[in-house]
Amino acid sequence: MTIRVTCVGHIRTSIGRERVEIPGDRMKARDLIERLREMGRSDPNLGFSVYNTLVIVNGSVAFTAAASDRILEDGDEVLLLPFSHGG
């Protein structure tokens, strides 16, 4: 029972790897992001959260975890994509 996660951009940099397998059969998307944030606590530039991360599930459904109570299930493949900021 695993949820497979691919991280890009500064999310990958913050947790130190591109792919992560999270054990479990059900969890909220916001809980997944919080678990990954715990993995990256040693990064002083940790900048991803439920508010600025696009969650794409199984290549088709996209949302921000702050705006959805989406439950991720065993076998889901999740892509976490940070919003770009500039000025």
CATH number at 9 reads 3.10.20.30
What pLDDT was estimated at residue 42?
72
Structural domain that includes position 64: 2-82
Q: For residue range 13-53, list pLDDT tens digits in order.
A: 888 899 999 998 899 999 999 999 888 877 666 778 888 89
Q: How many residues does the chain have?
A: 87
What pLDDT was estimated at residue 86?
54
Q: Per the domain annotation, does 58 fall within a domain?
A: yes
What pLDDT was estimated at residue 44?
65
**What are the phi and psi torsion angles at 29 (to 5°)?**
-60, -40
Q: Per the domain annotation, does 87 fall within a domain?
A: no
pLDDT bracket for residue 68 (50, 70, 90)? confident
What pLDDT was estimated at residue 14?
86
pTM confidence score: 0.87
Number of domains in the chain: 1
The pair of three-digit structure tokens given for residue 32, joined into one six-digit string: 């997944």
